[in-house]
Structure 1
């Protein structure tokens, strides 16, 4: 995992970590369920998944050809 993402995860409140873990599980199983990062390009590989009832989100890239999802950013709004 990218060091920046690790740092961002460390700032998430401890009570939110189970919700974040659930979201990571969603990314593993159904990464295309996130909303498009760019609404003008709904089929783009960059997506966002809301966490904790919209109090945060994960921005990620779906790399189907590599059977991989790269988390780019974890944002916590509180």
Structure 2
């Protein structure tokens, strides 16, 4: 799930980033815990980062396991 701010971030990305975002969203659907912890001091924390292809950016997201849901909070793109 994404909110309108994240959808706006995705719309602003260059076309080359869209397949990477789609792949990352697929990963989040299947294995959301594979992302690295947002806070290294909390390795089991619910907030995570998932790197995009070749370090070109990352998604920050929240795993809401009790709701069987993942919320994307931010998209960072380095290009």
TM-score bracket, normalised by the shorter chain, equals over 0.9
The Cα shift of 1:34 comes to: 0.1
**Unpaired stretches in structure 1, ≥5 consecutive residues:** none
Q: Does structure 1 residue 64 correspond to structure 2 residue 59?
A: no
The Cα shift of 1:77 comes to: 1.1
Counterpart in 1 of 2:14?
13
Q: State the TM-score, normalizing by the size of structure 2.
A: 0.94
Q: Does structure 1 residue 36 correspond to structure 2 residue 37?
A: yes
The Cα shift of 1:16 comes to: 1.5
| Deviation string, structure 1 residues 29-61 (Cα, Å, up to 9, x no partner) | 000000000001100000000002111100000
Question: Could you tell me how far apart the structure 2 residues matched to 1:40 and 1:5 are?
Answer: 26
Q: After the TM superposition, which segments of 4 or more aligned residues of structure 1 sit over 4 Å from their partners?
A: none
Question: Could you tell me how far apart the structure 1 residues matched to 2:72 and 2:47 are?
Answer: 10
Q: State the TM-score, normalizing by the size of structure 1.
A: 0.96
Over aligned residue pairs, what C-alpha RMSD do you find? Answer: 0.7
Counterpart in 2 of 1:3?
4
Counterpart in 2 of 1:53?
54
